[in-house]
Structure 1
């Protein structure tokens, strides 16, 4: 039957859509037999499906990226043709169509980013089901950042009401077609599978189960890199999401591809990560054996359920022997690979691998010639694997010797070793199973199978974690290693959610458990103590944090041959401790940690070590070294997002601040905005607010105080309710907002904001206290409250260490303004010229201009009007020559005002008026209309206008401050 209208098809579309997805997953040559096998209610859709598949004969595999015949347009698909505009994207060509969506190669039309994207759009049946799926996919992809998962770039709804998802465009083939075309050997196929498993494990770590893993959702590029697609029906194990039944399932039946679906998925039972283990097992079986182990019938649901209960799984080597690759390929599958696939495809979830990581680890063991966990352990098996791994070293004579010594001490030693390894393997397996079962039990508590399903579905991820953490000790008393691992897993989840106090409670439990199980000087206890110490420092509980970190350091010195990775972690964490109180020591520790990090495989800890080197170098003012280390860290994170993706926003934020200090403001803002976007993408509250703090500072320094205030207002609102989880961060945000208020000409508002937080300042590290005291003193100077400003300066100066150039530089600048206000401009000028931070080689023309503006003002205040006028003119000429002067508008206003006042004092009235008018115009753009600085500028301009014989203009200028004061 050929559908004559969408209206006729739409009523049956849910069933047709599921069947169509199933058909597209089959190779073209098998589709006709599949159509003929349709039975029951599905048989009536046979002709419709045949019409939809009619033009697929030339495509090797029907998949998500296969092309279907054009269908009549609906409201959702109207206008989706090459060249059409959808949101900010232009459609280039259609690259795929599935049952519920089409995918287009597209490009942005607004010029913001020049890169191709895969734009996912509704297909023929737009409605609640597709909306649910699209929203789910957007939310899920937004939380995933992995090199082997197609990235989500953008999502929205265009002017015609069409939703879209813009994802990374993957120019590749389905994994099965890629393997066939390139005739890949077994190890190369396993290497691709390991990439897939890394992506799936990343998703599981973010509480996401894919639920539809099949070759057509796994693309391989020409470079051999895997990308996992289509999280549209994935299951979220958090925030009250229905974990068994969704609106999509209710509308169209179980959303799955039967040939790759797990038995529990077909039965409609609750799902967990074991579902993806099974589907990966089916994909692996097909890639390694050449075809799937079985095909389920295409009858009704009852027939499908009956078939899955009766299916028998043949060995992969047996199936491979029947395929074109022949017996040699089958022999390679015998033994370990047969056992690995058999375990992954166990019908009962608890009998499979406990996690995707465990599945991947067995494949790695096979690849490396080591014993696999899927096979029963024996001395003969392990000896055989040893000989296979070392066949160059073990010749015929050596084999004979091994045989002769079978009953000797060597054999006994091997037996003892084998038993010990077997016991360890069994313990690890039991631990993995316990961890897996416990985590799934935690996150299944919000399914519909509860006494109060609606209440269960409203359970948040935080509530689930709290309940799980409370259950660990009670329910896993007989598996202490599982307790330790679960404590570590859940504390990381708490940290990711910004719940540091709860994470710290688990870290204390981990430390006590590690000491009980392994001893106070064990690597496990040292690692747990280090982790606890860092969290305490982050929460501003510095005394206890210091105690824990120094205890970890002392214990590490008592352990001979300590693992270099753990030594590196201790060094970089101690660097974190000392960065605010002894930056030189912190930098030495960070450099030592980074040296080790560069010799180890990339990991979260090696990335942290490089980041710490950048942070400490920045703290000491070693900007080139800081930028190099931060770029190195960012590059490693981008190459290995699964290891350190969560650290990228903070690394980029510090890199942006470094670029700003080096006089490259546009580059700095670009980097900071990229950091902000990455932090929002990850959903990590700590990163988001760290980046915001640095972005506020950059805006303020770059003459963008209004932009700083807009961001800072929201951040201060957050800070008021942040609590102890975020340590000193809320107060730092308040300080940056106060600094922006002073720059915007609102010192009274800045002072009021700081006064509201005054009680908390004393608990900060010294250099952080100095920053807040400097801002408060600056506000008081601007308001003419000299005595109070002096008290702040006298309190701050003793707190500054000798190796804090940026903090000391800011404090000395405020002190110079106080001296000027007190009539001691000569002393201020002398201090400026003796300030090592000022006299250091200039990092660029923007910083030079800013320094000229301050020096010119000091010269004028000290009575050197002629020198001030000349230096101001020089600075204004430099500003005029800058390619982008918007970042020095504050300095330009200061220079114009100094020049105008200097000329006025020298009687050069004609030159003074335009200079002062320029200063007033700039300040009106930069500052609050009621700013004291603007009022003083207007008074000076009026004086110059009167002196030049312009009484009317002078009168109007004098009236301006009164008009401004009258504003609400």
Structure 2
């Protein structure tokens, strides 16, 4: 028996009237009841009873404090809550999710009034007046909110069983954190999503509504990148009689998500819009850095409450594991998030609009309103956290150099630190003052771009701060990071070189500061393809580190990792040795961002050297460390490397799945590192002769490569080269050669190790086009260039040379070379590779006139192909071996047997190759025509001589 059972017979009419009454202020209920007439008047007493019952639980300011729900006496959910059940006018389809208080179902209307699917919110634990009151409150709130980024309210009420419900817009999307994990958008795109949320919350604040439960699961992102904000279920109205509290405040349990709660929520204080600003900052921190701002040792609720209430979160740039992402967060974004996460509500942004506008100013390259904390504030915080250390180290003063959102601690005397701070802040302010209207030509000043401001500032540093070298050093690093954020690597490297020179002068060539600066320069030079320059800088740092009394493990790991990255293609054995050293140090020190990079580098180097099991383990460990840190910024890079290793191990299907996952994580990014992930999938498709798939997906990446500038490094050339190789393999050698020439033009001048494979691919195209003299020259240069490369690279060049020898009429030489360089036993000797080598051997034997041997090898290869579970990856090998078998039978005078084999060969060739341009297709057609002619002659009993 529920409180509504007496009204069950007339419930549809009563429910509709009750909805109307609940839409009015309580003070208007009496007049509204007295004004009922006709059939409506017949339900006046029932409505009066229901409204009085509702009023009986209204005693104090609604949700003034965090409500607590005592679930000890909670009844089990009402019966019949299964798919197909009816709640009011709605039929339940499937449960979408559940929280601490409510379940949400996908439902549709069953009364025929309209066709619409909705998200139906129902109490999960108890059907009672308290929850009915809560849902009525949510209905009142949502009815006032009409915004493109807020899920709409369609209907609300209580059904005949006393079950309150809300029918809301059904949003097909994924939570913002899951969306960022799956699609890995860039920082600018993430900020765009956050600003959509902020506009929705600001809309609610303007209507005096606080959300009170902002968290990723309440923020959905649709397929087209639009945000929808959900669940105002515990929102508070800020004025009018609707701020009254109810008996809900007497229930136990929290109606909030602790991880995103503000300090005032933790303390149970009255809440305002500043609480939403804090929770929005926690969401923004997680979306931008890939992790939440509080790192706990025990992960207990008590510790989390203490952290939220009193602990200062680390800078987002310090929490991010992705090195490039961390660089983009330093400065403005660190400062913006720091301001929004202040413990004191009054120190945060005044409004959500102000928070959103500062993010937009960052995107526009304009000065942001958030400023770094002052020296006194930071010093007070430091002393509070480290009272014992400060008392013991009386000679050490804390200093802060305030720049654009970056704080630098200096363990130097306070006077010098204060002077440095003042110099840096004054300089940065002067740089950006040039963009204000307080200039001789205000219009021209406002039109100055961020790049122009930085260029001018960089020119002034040495001249204006010659007497403040610490300030100079900080500004070099700060401005270099700004240039990187704009993808301007050349001016960034120039400033990093000045930083290295100054660090060396201030602290010595063997100092951590100088060595870390050198590593940064080396990595940036390497990413631009300037490997020789990178190697010079890194080897100097290596020698300086080794000459110290104690070679610091953290710095040593960074140097070895950087050198391994440079050596990975140029000298694989040296690269592997450095990578192993760095990975051993990483494992000894435990999980860290630099350790993840060391393991990733070991994976790349071990694969290049053919140590595939070691490579796989290193990459699996790197992925596990990323998971332990709760960050996914570089996961796509680790997965793409792991997919390449799986492919080398012959695990082709698994490799494709891993690479596709990597691409899904990076598909919304445009930086070279993320294009490199897509390139690895394209290379996998080429290597496994999934040529149609590779070409179908190539257009966007090729267009990007063609418009990329030199600051993008060697990735554009690699993308274009793979496209050219794929076209050549498909049979369109003319277009392939043009693409390869574009790749050659895009290759940075300083990059030498990629030139060999590129020349070999170009020679392959020239062979197909019959330009053999040019092909020979490219093959010889390719062999000379790849002499020290890994075995797989050298063998690929030799295979091109064998095809050149075949075209030049030297099949015996090609066959001898094939046999002189057998596949080495070990991890790389896989069934797929053996099958492809069988196809090549059969072709070489046939070209050398050894028909019986060719037929035997082709027959054995086709039998082996039938036993492979991943047959779809060997269409080209099947076409080649089928053609060899048919032609061998034809040469042996067995035209009747050859004819169906060659018919199948042509079909296979048409599926795999360009039907118009491919020489392989032309050869297959020619062989079939010869077999048909031979079969006809055999049928007439005439010899070829007699017919001629």
TM-score normalised by the chain length of structure 2: 0.62
The answer (yes or no) to whether the contact 1:487–1:507 under 8 Å persists in 2 is: yes
CA contact (8 A) 1:699 1:705 kept: yes
CA apart distance, 1:97: 10
Please say if residues 96 and 104 of structure 1, whose CA atoms lie closer than 8 Å, have aligned partners that are also in contact: no
Alignment of 1:665 onto 2:692: no
Question: What corresponds to 2:529 in structure 1?
Answer: 540
Distance 1:103 1:486, change over 3 A: farther
User: Is 1:382 aligned to 2:388, yes or no?
Assistant: yes
Instruction: List gaps (5 residues or longer) in structure 1.
Output: 13-27, 39-52, 62-66, 68-76, 84-89, 107-117, 136-159, 171-200, 219-226, 234-240, 260-278, 299-327, 366-370, 387-412, 953-968
Which residues of 2 match residues 466-477 of structure 1 at below 5 A?
Answer: none
After superposition, the C-alpha distances for 1:47-75 in whole angstroms (9 at most, x for unaligned) are: xxxxxx9xx996779xxxxx9xxxxxxxx
2:421, 2:211 → 1: CA distance?
A: 28
Residue 381 (structure 2) pairs with residue 373 (structure 1)? yes
SS for the counterpart of 1:555 is helix
Aligned 1:453-852 pairs, distance under 5 A: 484=473, 488=477, 491=480, 495=484, 498-642=487-631, 645-681=632-668, 683=669, 685-759=671-745, 763=749, 765-837=751-823, 843-852=829-838
Shift of 1:880: 1.9
Which of 131, 148, 151 is matched with 1:131 structurally? 148
| In 2: Cα distance, 1:600 partner to 1:514 partner | 26
Is the alpha carbon distance of 1:376 and 1:614 closer, same or farther for their aligned partners in structure 2, counting shifts above 3 Å? closer
In structure 2, distance between residues paired with 1:522 and 1:96: 54
- With 701-710 and 491-500 compared, the bigger mean Cα shift is at 491-500
Secondary structure at 2:914's aligned position in 1?
coil
User: Secondary structure, in 3 states, of the residue corresponding to 1:792?
Assistant: helix
Cα deviation code 1:350-397 (max 9, x no counterpart): 99xx999999xx9xx9xxxxx98365799xx538x98xxxxxxxxxxx
The count of corresponding residues between Structure 1 and Structure 2 is 713
Are residue 92 (structure 1) and residue 104 (structure 2) matched?
A: no
Specify the alignment match of 2:851 in structure 1: 865
Equivalent position of 1:938 in the other structure: 925
Q: Indicate yes or no: 2:172 matched with 1:164.
A: yes
**Is this contact kept in 2: 1:501–1:724, CA < 8 A?**
no
Instruction: Indicate conservation of the 8 Å contact 1:850/1:891, yes or no.
Output: yes
- 1:746 CA displacement: 0.7
Q: Distance in 1 between matches of 2:425 and 2:57?
A: 38
> Which stretch of structure 1 is more off in the superposition, 793-802 or 896-905?
793-802
CA spacing shift, 1:948–1:581, aligned 2, 3 Å: same
Query: Alpha-carbon deviation of 1:714?
Result: 2.4
Query: Contact between 1:627 and 1:655, CA under 8 Å: does it hold in 2?
Result: yes
Structure 1 residues 202, 753: CA separation in 2 closer, same or farther (over 3 Å shift)?
closer
Deviation per CA, 1:705-744: give whole Å up to 9, x if none: 1211222332222111111112222111121111100111
Q: 1:677 to 1:78 in 2, by over 3 A?
A: farther
- Mapped pair 1:291 → 2:271: no
The one-character-per-residue Cα deviations of 1:733-781 (angstroms, maximum 9, x if unpaired) are 1211111001111111111222345455582544311111111111111
Structure 1 residues 178-577: aligned runs within 5 Å? 217=213, 230=218, 283-284=262-263, 287=266, 290-292=267-269, 344-345=343-344, 347-348=346-347, 373=381, 382=388, 415-416=394-395, 484=473, 488=477, 491=480, 495=484, 498-577=487-566
Per-residue deviation, 1:576: 1.7
- The 10-residue stretch of structure 1 (552-561 or 466-475) with the greater mean CA deviation from structure 2: 466-475
- SS in structure 2 of the partner of residue 92 of structure 1: strand
Secondary structure of the equivalent of 2:610?
coil
In structure 1, distance between residues paired with 2:508 and 2:603: 35
Question: 1:466: Cα distance to partner?
Answer: 7.7
Equivalents in 1 of 2:630, 2:445: separation in Å? Answer: 33
How far did 1:428 drift?
8.3
Give the aligned partner of residue 30 of structure 2: none
Q: TM-score, normalising length from structure 1?
A: 0.61
Q: 1:549–1:169: structure 2 CA closer, same or farther, 3 Å change rule?
A: closer
Relative to structure 1, the CA distance from residue 513 to residue 825 in structure 2 (aligned partners, 3 Å threshold; closer, same or farther) is same
In 1: Cα distance, 2:273 partner to 2:844 partner:
88
The answer as to whether partners of 1:282 and 1:345 remain within 8 angstroms in 2 is no
SS at 2:569's partner residue?
Answer: coil
Q: CA deviation at 1:912?
A: 0.9
Deviation digits for residues 783-823 of structure 1 (CA, Å, limit 9, x no counterpart): 22221111111111111234411210110101111112222
For residues 37-56 of structure 1, the C-alpha deviation after alignment (integer angstroms, 9 at most, x for no partner) is 99xxxxxxxxxxxxxx9xx9
CA-atom RMSD in angstroms: 6.1
What is the CA-CA distance between 1:128 and the residue it aligns to? Answer: 9.9
Q: Does the 8 A contact of 2:895 with 2:931 survive in 1?
A: yes
Give the deviation of 1:416 after TM superposition. Answer: 3.8
Q: What's the CA shift for 1:580?
A: 2.5
Distance 1:680 1:168 in 2: 16
1:33 aligns with 2:22: no
Alpha-carbon distance between aligned partners in 1 of 2:440 and 2:228, rounded to the nearest angstrom: 21
Give 3-state SS (helix, strand or coil) of 2:173's partner: strand
Could you tell me how far apart the structure 2 residues matched to 1:97 and 1:441 are? 54
Counterpart contact for 1:819–1:827, Cα < 8 Å? yes
Answer yes or no: is the 8 Å Cα contact 2:553–2:585 preserved in 1.
yes
Offset of 1:346 from its aligned partner?
7.4
* 8 Å Cα contact 2:173/2:220 also seen in 1: no
Task: Pick closer, same or farther for the CA change 1:162–1:206 going to 2, 3 Å.
Answer: closer
- What do residues 676-695 of structure 1 show as CA deviations (whole Å, max 9, x unaligned)? 111235x2511221112211
Q: CA deviation at 1:604?
A: 2.1
Secondary structure at the counterpart of residue 172 of structure 2: strand
Q: How many Å separate the matches in 1 of 2:89 and 2:756?
A: 61
**CA positional deviation for 1:546:** 2.5
How has the CA–CA distance of structure 1 residues 58 and 35 changed in structure 2, closer, same or farther, with 3 Å as cutoff?
A: closer
Residue matched to 1:921: 907
Q: CA deviation at 1:554?
A: 2.6
1:904 paired with 2:883, answer: no
The 1:636–1:819 alpha-carbon spacing in structure 2 relative to 1, beyond 3 Å, is same
* 1-structure distance, mates of 2:698, 2:619: 25
Map 1:14-29 onto structure 2 (within 5 A): none
- Alignment partner of 1:787: what SS? helix
| 8 Å CA contact 2:649, 2:827 repeated in 1 | no
